[in-house]
Structure 1
Amino acid sequence: MTTYTSRTEIPDHEKWNLTHIYPHHDAWKEDFNQVVSDIHTLGSYNDNIHNAEQFYGFLSEQEALMQRYTKLYVFAMLQNDEDTRQSSSQTLLDQVQQLGVKISSATSFFMPYLLELEEETLKRYIEEVPALQYFEKDLLESYRYKTHVLTKEKEEVLSQLGDALASPKTTFGMINNADIVFGDVTNENGEKVPLTRGMFAKIMESADRDKRKEAYKAYYKPYVQMKNTIASTLSSAVKNNVTLAKMRNYPSALEKALFGDNVPVSVYENLIETTKKNIEPLHRYMKVRKEKLGVEELRAYDLSAPLVKDVREDISYEEAYQTMLESLKPLGDEYITQLKAFKDAGVIDVRETPGKRSGAYNIGLYGVHPYVLLNHRDNLDSLFTLAHEMGHCMHSHYSSLYQPRISASYSIFVAEVASTVNEVLLIHHLLDTTTDKKMRKHLLNHFIDQFKGTFFTQVMFAEFEKTVHEKVENGESLNAEVFNEMYEKLFRTYNGDDLVFEEEVKFGWSRIPHFYRPFYVYKYATGYVSAIHIAERLLKGDSETLEAYLTFLQSGSSEYPLDLLKATGVDLLSPEPVESAMKTFARLVDEFGEE
C-alpha cells in the first residue's frame, strides 16, 4: 500500500475535482454574496404574500436560493475534508454554516403562514399560476403537519432556541471528541502509551487476548469515570425530545420522529419484536465464536477478534474497483457502464493523506454529480467500503437524473438500501468465486460480523431509545444507574448466555453519539433487511425485481419510503422481511460453524 504525505503526490484521477462545482474561489464568493442578498429578498415576503403570484415568487426564489446554498455548502465541506487542518477551509465552512442559520430564520414564517391558508385557497393559487404545480405535492404534504406547527411567533422562538436545544448533543460531542482521555496500553516495546480510538479498533482485532483486554479496560475507563456527566447530557437530550413532541402535539417522541417518513409505530415495534423472536442464531454464533477462539469464557473484548488467521488481504484500488464491477453485474449493463465512468471522472477521493477526514461517505449534488470520500487501504474492508459508498453514489446519480430537484434527495430511511445491496452482491460474488477454504470462512465471518453490527446492534440500540423515552414520558427520572440497568438487560437479551459480562458492558450507552439524534439507528436495521431481501432475489436473476429496484433508485423522495420499498417487494409493515433476513443469518452461522 502506497503512503502519501501530500495530496500533490496523488494522481488526478484518484482525487475528486471541486472545479466541477466552482471553477475558482471568486465564483464561490460571488454565489455567497448572492445568497446574502437573496435572504433579504426572502425575508421581505413575511406578511407580504397576498396572492398567487407572490406565493409563487417566494417558493421559486427560495428554491433557487437553496440550490445555490447547497453548492456553497458542499464545496466548503469537501474542501475542508481534504485537509481539516487548514484554517482557510474551516473559515469557509463556518461562514456557510452561519449563512444556513440566517436562511432558516428568514424563512421560518412560511410554514405557519401556509398552514393558516385554507386548502381551497391554495388550490385556487395553483389554478391561477400553473407553475405552482411543481410545488403542489410538497405543499399539500405540509398540511399533514397542520396540528404540529405552532404560531409564527412561537416558531420564531423555537428557531432562535435551536442552539440551546442542541446543547446536550454539542456537549457530548465535546466530551467524546475533545475531552476524553483514554487509559494507557502497552506498545510493542513494552512501554505504556495513551490509547487512541484508532489504536483501540486495531487492538480489538488483534489475536493477542491480553492486549485486547487491556485496551478494552483503558477505552471504557473515562466513560465510567464520567458516567454522571454523560448521563446528564443524555437525559437532557431525551427530555428535550419529549418536550418538543408534547409542544408540537405528538402522542410521543417516537411518533414525532417517525412522522416525516409517514412510518407507523408498528414498523418500529415489529422490527424489535420479530428480531427478538428470532434471536437464537445470534446466541448460537456467540457459542461458535467461543469455540473457534478456544476460550473458557467469551468476553466482550473477544467479539472482534479474528476467527480465521493468515488470510491474504492485499487488494489494490484497481483490483478492488474491478472486483466490485464484476460483483454488481446482476444490476445490469447501464449500471456497470455508469460505475466505470465514475472511476476517473473527478467523483472519488481515494487516498488517505495527513489531515484528511477519516472514514468514508457519499454526498449527492444536484446539477453537478455525487462526490465520494474514501481512505482506501488496499484490504478487504476497503473493498467493501468502496462497494458501499458507490451504492450511495449510484442512488444519488439516478435520483438526480430522473427527478426534479424538489424530489431528488432520498430519505435517510431508504439511504442504506442501495449501499447494502451492493455489499450483499459483493459478498456473494466473493463466496462464489473463491476456491480457498480459509478465505471462504473469512468471508463468512466478515458477513456475519457485518450483519451483527448493522442489524442486531442497531435493533438493540433502537429498543434502548424507545425504553428511555417512554420512562420520561411516564414521569420517571433518568440517571447513570437507570441507563446501566436498561443497557445491561438488553445486552444480555441480545447476546445470550455464552458471553460473560465485564463490568464495563453496562456503560455501553455512554459512548453512542447516535443517541443524540433520536430514533435514527432503527433505519440502519430496516435498510439492511430490505437490502438482503432485494439482493437475494437479484441473485436469482429475477428480472421484475431488477426493474423495480432500478426504478427505486430513480425515485428519490417522490413517494413515502415504505411505498418505495413496497414497490420492490419489501413490505416492512409485515414481519416477513425481518424473518427472511434472520433465516439468511442462521444459514451463515450454520456454515461457518461447520468444521
Structure 2
Amino acid sequence: MTKYTNRTEVPIQEKWNLSDLYANQSKWEEDYRVIEKKAENLKEFDGQIGDGPSLYQYLKQKEELSFLLNKMYAYAMLKVDEDTRDTNSQALLERAKRLNVNVSASTSFFMPFLLSLDEAKLKQYIASDQRLIYFEDDLMESFRYKDHVLSKEQEEVLSQLGEALSSPGYIFGMINNADIKFGVITNKNGENVELTRGMYAKLIEDEDRKKRKEAYKAYYQPYVQLKNSIASTLSTAIKNNVTLAKIRKYPSALEKALFGDKVPKEVYENLITTTKNNLTSLHEYTRIRKEKLKVNELHQYDMSVPLVNGVMKDIPFDEAYRIMYKALSPLGEEYIKILKEFKESRYIDVRETPGKRSGAYNLGIYGVHPFILLNHQDDLDSLFTLVHECGHGVHSKLSSQHQPQITARYSIFVAEVASTVNEVLLINYLLTNETDQKVRQHLLNHFIDQYKGTFFTQVMFAEFEMQTHEMAEKGLPLNVEIFNQIYETLFKEYNGTEIVLDDEVKYGWSRIPHFYRPFYVYKYATGFASAIHLATKILEGDQNTLNTYIEFLKSGSSDYPLELLKKTGVDLTTPFPIENSLKRFGELVGEFSKL
C-alpha cells in the first residue's frame, strides 16, 4: 500500500486542483470583499420591495451572492480538509463562516416579508414581471414554511446565532480530526507506533485476532478518555435541534428535519419498524460469522475481518479506476466519459496524509465542478468508496449541467441512491467476472458486510437519533451514561445475542460525525433500498428504468425527493422497497451460508 508522510510527496495527478475555484488566495480575498458589499446592498431592499421588478432585483442579486459565497466557502473548507492542522486554512474557514452569518443577517428580513404577503399579491407581482417566472416555484414553496417563520427581528437574532448553534459539530470535528490521538500498537517489527485511522481500517480486518483486538482497544481509547467532552457536544447539538424545532413551531425535531424534503414521519418510522421486524437474517449472519471464525466468543473486533482467508490483494488507484469504468458501463457512454474527466482534470484528492480529514465525500459546486475527497488505501473497501463517491460526483455534475442554479442542488435524501446504485453494479461486475470460488466467497462476504454497514447500521443510528431527541423533547437528561445505555441496547437488538459486548461497544455513539447533522443517516438506508431496486432493473436490461434513472440524475431538486424516485418506479411511502431490500439481504446470507 502506498503511504505518504506529508502532502508534498503525493503525485500532482492524485491531488485535487483547487485553482479551478481560485487561482490564489488574493482572488479569494477579492470575492470576500465583493460578497461583503453585495450583502450590504441586499440590506437596502428591506422595506423597499413593493412590486415585481424590485422583487426580481432582490432575488437576482441574492442568487449571484449565493453563487460566490458557495464557491468561497467551499475553497476554505477544502483547504482545511487537506490539512486540518493548518492555521491559515482554519482562519480562512472561520472568516467564511462569519461572512455566511452576516449574509444570513442581511437577508433575514426577506422570509418574514414574503410570508406577510397574501398569495394573490405575490401572484400579482409575478404576473407583472416575466423574469420572476424563474423564481416562481421557489417563492410558492416558501409558503409551506408560513407557520414556521418568525418575525423579522426574531429571524435576525436567529441568523446571528447561526455560528454558535453550529459550534457543537465544529468542536467535535476538531476533536475528531485534528486533536485526537489514538493509542499505541506494535507494528510488524515489534516497535510501538501510534495508530492512525488508515492503519485501523486495515488492522480491524487483519487475520491475526490479537492484532485486531489491539487495534480495536487503541482506536476506542481516546473516545473513552474524552467521553464527557464528546457527550457534552452531542447533548448540546441535540438540545439545539429540539429548541430550534420548538421556536419554529414544529411538532418535533424529527418533523422539522423531514419538512424540507416533504417526507412524512411515517417513512422514517416505517423504515425502523420494518427493519426491526426483519432482523433474523442479520442475526443468522452473526451466527455464521462466529462459526466460520471458530471462536468461543464473538467480539466487535471480529465483525469486520473477512471470513474467507488468503484472497485479499492490493488494488492500486489506477487499477481501481479501470475496474470502475467496466463495472459502471451499463450506465452508458456519457456516464463513463464524466468519470474519465474526474480523473484527468483532477477533481479527486486521493491519498491519506497526516492531518487530512478522515473518510470520504463529494462536494458539488455549481458553475465549477464536483470535488471528491478520498483516503485511498489500495484495497477492496477503497474501490467501493471510489465508486460510491463518484456516484455522488456524477449526480452533482449532471444536475449542474441540466438544471438552473435554483434547482441544481439535489436533496441529501436522493443523494445516496446514486452512490449505492454504483456499489450494486460494482459487486455484480466483480462476481460475474470472477471464477475462483474462494474469491467469489470473499466478494459475497464483502458485499454482505457493506449491506450491513450501509443499511442495518444506519437504521440503528437513525433509531438512536430518534430516541435521544425524544428524550430531550421530554426534558430528560442526556449524558454519557444515557448515550451508552441507549447505544448498547440497540447494538444488542440489531446484532443478536451471539456477540459478546466489550466495554468499548457502548461508546460507539461517540465517534459518529453524522449525529451532528440531525436525522441524516436514515437516508443511507432509504437510498440503499431504492438503489437495490434500480440496479436490479438496470442489470436486467430494463431500458425504461435506465432512461428514467439517468433523468433522475439530471433532475437536481426540480421536484420533491419522493416524487423524483416515484418517476423511476420506487415508492418509499409503501413498505415494499424496504421489504424488498431486506429480502435481498436474506438471499445473500442464504447463498453465503451454502458456500
- TM category (shorter chain) comes to over 0.9
SS state of the match for residue 243, structure 2?
helix
Q: Does the C-alpha gap of structure 1 residues 367 and 547 become closer, same or farther in structure 2, counting only changes over 3 Å?
A: same
Q: Tell me the residue number matched to 1:295.
A: 295
In 1, the alpha carbon distance for the partners of 2:571 and 2:515 equals: 27
- 2:129 matches 1:129: yes
Q: Tell me the residue number matched to 2:558.
A: 558
Q: Which amino acid aligns with 2:56?
A: Y
Q: Does the C-alpha gap of structure 1 residues 2 and 481 become closer, same or farther in structure 2, counting only changes over 3 Å?
A: closer
Q: Does the C-alpha gap of structure 1 residues 7 and 480 become closer, same or farther in structure 2, counting only changes over 3 Å?
A: closer
SS state of the match for residue 500, structure 1?
coil
Contact 1:14 1:344 in 2 (8 A): no
Which ranges of structure 1 fall in alignment gaps of 5 or more residues?
none
Q: Does the C-alpha gap of structure 1 residues 122 and 41 become closer, same or farther in structure 2, counting only changes over 3 Å?
A: same
- Structure 1 residue 80, shift from structure 2 partner: 4.2
Q: Tell me the residue number matched to 2:141.
A: 141
Q: Tell me the residue number matched to 1:486.
A: 486
Q: Which amino acid aligns with 1:449?
A: D
In 2, the alpha carbon distance for the partners of 1:215 and 1:319 equals: 29
Q: Which moved more, 1:356-365 or 1:108-117?
A: 356-365
Q: Deviations over 1:201-243 (max 9, x none)?
A: 3332222222323333344344445544444443333222222
Q: Which moved more, 1:207-216 or 1:352-361?
A: 352-361
Contact 1:389 1:419 in 2 (8 A): yes
In 2, the alpha carbon distance for the partners of 1:476 and 1:10 equals: 50
Q: Which moved more, 1:573-582 or 1:41-50?
A: 41-50
- Structure 1 residue 146, shift from structure 2 partner: 0.5
Q: Which moved more, 1:337-346 or 1:394-403?
A: 337-346
In 2, the alpha carbon distance for the partners of 1:94 and 1:78 equals: 13
Q: Tell me the residue number matched to 2:69.
A: 69
Q: Does the C-alpha gap of structure 1 residues 148 and 470 become closer, same or farther in structure 2, counting only changes over 3 Å?
A: same
Q: Which amino acid aligns with 1:294?
A: K
- Structure 1 residue 189, shift from structure 2 partner: 4.7
- Structure 1 residue 432, shift from structure 2 partner: 0.2
Contact 2:177 2:355 in 1 (8 A): no
In 1, the alpha carbon distance for the partners of 2:220 and 2:23 equals: 47
In 1, the alpha carbon distance for the partners of 2:8 and 2:174 equals: 32
In 1, the alpha carbon distance for the partners of 2:168 and 2:30 equals: 36
Q: Which amino acid aligns with 1:591?
A: E
SS state of the match for residue 410, structure 2?
coil
Q: Does the C-alpha gap of structure 1 residues 175 and 113 become closer, same or farther in structure 2, counting only changes over 3 Å?
A: same
Q: Tell me the residue number matched to 1:499.
A: 499
Q: Tell me the residue number matched to 1:537.
A: 537
Q: Tell me the residue number matched to 1:417.
A: 417
Q: Tell me the residue number matched to 1:406.
A: 406
Contact 1:271 1:578 in 2 (8 A): yes
Contact 1:398 1:554 in 2 (8 A): yes
Contact 1:81 1:356 in 2 (8 A): yes
- Structure 1 residue 87, shift from structure 2 partner: 4.4
SS state of the match for residue 296, structure 1?
coil
Q: Tell me the residue number matched to 1:388.
A: 388
In 1, the alpha carbon distance for the partners of 2:449 and 2:18 equals: 36
Q: Does the C-alpha gap of structure 1 residues 268 and 217 become closer, same or farther in structure 2, counting only changes over 3 Å?
A: same
Q: Does the C-alpha gap of structure 1 residues 389 and 65 become closer, same or farther in structure 2, counting only changes over 3 Å?
A: same
Which ranges of structure 2 fall in alignment gaps of 5 or more residues?
none
In 2, the alpha carbon distance for the partners of 1:494 and 1:402 equals: 41
Q: Which amino acid aligns with 1:105?
A: A
Q: Does the C-alpha gap of structure 1 residues 379 and 182 become closer, same or farther in structure 2, counting only changes over 3 Å?
A: closer
- Structure 1 residue 145, shift from structure 2 partner: 0.6
Q: Which amino acid aligns with 2:169?
A: K
Q: Does the C-alpha gap of structure 1 residues 32 and 183 become closer, same or farther in structure 2, counting only changes over 3 Å?
A: closer
SS state of the match for residue 376, structure 2?
coil
Q: Which amino acid aligns with 2:510?
A: S
Q: Does the C-alpha gap of structure 1 residues 468 and 90 become closer, same or farther in structure 2, counting only changes over 3 Å?
A: closer
Q: Tell me the residue number matched to 1:447.
A: 447
- Structure 1 residue 438, shift from structure 2 partner: 1.5
Q: Tell me the residue number matched to 1:514.
A: 514
Q: Tell me the residue number matched to 2:549.
A: 549
Q: Which amino acid aligns with 2:108?
A: S
Q: Which moved more, 1:308-317 or 1:123-132?
A: 308-317
Q: Which moved more, 1:398-407 or 1:170-179?
A: 170-179
Q: Tell me the residue number matched to 1:254.
A: 254
Q: Deviations over 1:90-116 (max 9, x none)?
A: 443333332212211111111111111
Q: Which amino acid aligns with 2:423?
A: E
Q: Over aligned residues, Cα RMSD in angstroms?
A: 2.4
- 2:239 matches 1:239: yes
Q: Tell me the residue number matched to 1:207.
A: 207
In 1, the alpha carbon distance for the partners of 2:377 and 2:512 equals: 26
Q: Deviations over 1:427-486 (max 9, x none)?
A: 100000011111111111111111111110110111111112222323433333333332
Q: Does the C-alpha gap of structure 1 residues 56 and 253 become closer, same or farther in structure 2, counting only changes over 3 Å?
A: same
Q: Does the C-alpha gap of structure 1 residues 553 and 474 become closer, same or farther in structure 2, counting only changes over 3 Å?
A: same
- Structure 1 residue 352, shift from structure 2 partner: 4.5
Q: Tell me the residue number matched to 2:311.
A: 311
Q: Which amino acid aligns with 2:495?
A: N
In 1, the alpha carbon distance for the partners of 2:154 and 2:528 equals: 39
In 2, the alpha carbon distance for the partners of 1:81 and 1:483 equals: 29
Q: Which amino acid aligns with 2:157?
A: V
- Structure 1 residue 299, shift from structure 2 partner: 1.2
- Structure 1 residue 399, shift from structure 2 partner: 0.4
In 2, the alpha carbon distance for the partners of 1:5 and 1:565 equals: 44
Q: Which amino acid aligns with 1:54?
A: S
- Structure 1 residue 536, shift from structure 2 partner: 0.8
SS state of the match for residue 476, structure 2?
coil
In 2, the alpha carbon distance for the partners of 1:512 and 1:354 equals: 20
- Structure 1 residue 585, shift from structure 2 partner: 1.0
**TM-score (structure 1 length as normaliser):** 0.94
Q: Which moved more, 1:18-27 or 1:367-376?
A: 18-27
Q: Which amino acid aligns with 2:317?
A: Y
Q: Tell me the residue number matched to 1:363.
A: 363
Q: Which moved more, 1:145-154 or 1:221-230?
A: 221-230
In 2, the alpha carbon distance for the partners of 1:443 and 1:345 equals: 31
In 2, the alpha carbon distance for the partners of 1:171 and 1:89 equals: 16
Q: Does the C-alpha gap of structure 1 residues 544 and 145 become closer, same or farther in structure 2, counting only changes over 3 Å?
A: same
Q: Which amino acid aligns with 2:53?
A: E
SS state of the match for residue 373, structure 1?
strand
Q: Which amino acid aligns with 2:428?
A: H
**TM-score (structure 2 length as normaliser):** 0.94
Within 5 A, what are the aligned runs for 1:451-470?
451-470=451-470
Q: Does the C-alpha gap of structure 1 residues 488 and 121 become closer, same or farther in structure 2, counting only changes over 3 Å?
A: same
In 2, the alpha carbon distance for the partners of 1:309 and 1:471 equals: 45
Q: Which moved more, 1:184-193 or 1:337-346?
A: 184-193
- 2:348 matches 1:342: no
Q: Which amino acid aligns with 1:66?
A: S
- Structure 1 residue 69, shift from structure 2 partner: 1.8
Q: Which moved more, 1:305-314 or 1:224-233?
A: 224-233
- Structure 1 residue 163, shift from structure 2 partner: 3.2
Q: Does the C-alpha gap of structure 1 residues 479 and 77 become closer, same or farther in structure 2, counting only changes over 3 Å?
A: closer
- Structure 1 residue 138, shift from structure 2 partner: 0.7
Q: Which amino acid aligns with 2:439?
A: M
In 2, the alpha carbon distance for the partners of 1:510 and 1:374 equals: 23
SS state of the match for residue 41, structure 1?
helix
Q: Which amino acid aligns with 1:517?
A: R
Q: Does the C-alpha gap of structure 1 residues 114 and 344 become closer, same or farther in structure 2, counting only changes over 3 Å?
A: same
Contact 1:327 1:429 in 2 (8 A): yes
In 2, the alpha carbon distance for the partners of 1:377 and 1:300 equals: 22
Contact 1:195 1:218 in 2 (8 A): yes
In 1, the alpha carbon distance for the partners of 2:518 and 2:480 equals: 19
In 2, the alpha carbon distance for the partners of 1:235 and 1:365 equals: 32
Q: Which moved more, 1:319-328 or 1:378-387?
A: 378-387
Identical-pair percentage:
62
SS state of the match for residue 350, structure 1?
strand
Q: Which moved more, 1:374-383 or 1:104-113?
A: 374-383
Q: Does the C-alpha gap of structure 1 residues 222 and 409 become closer, same or farther in structure 2, counting only changes over 3 Å?
A: same
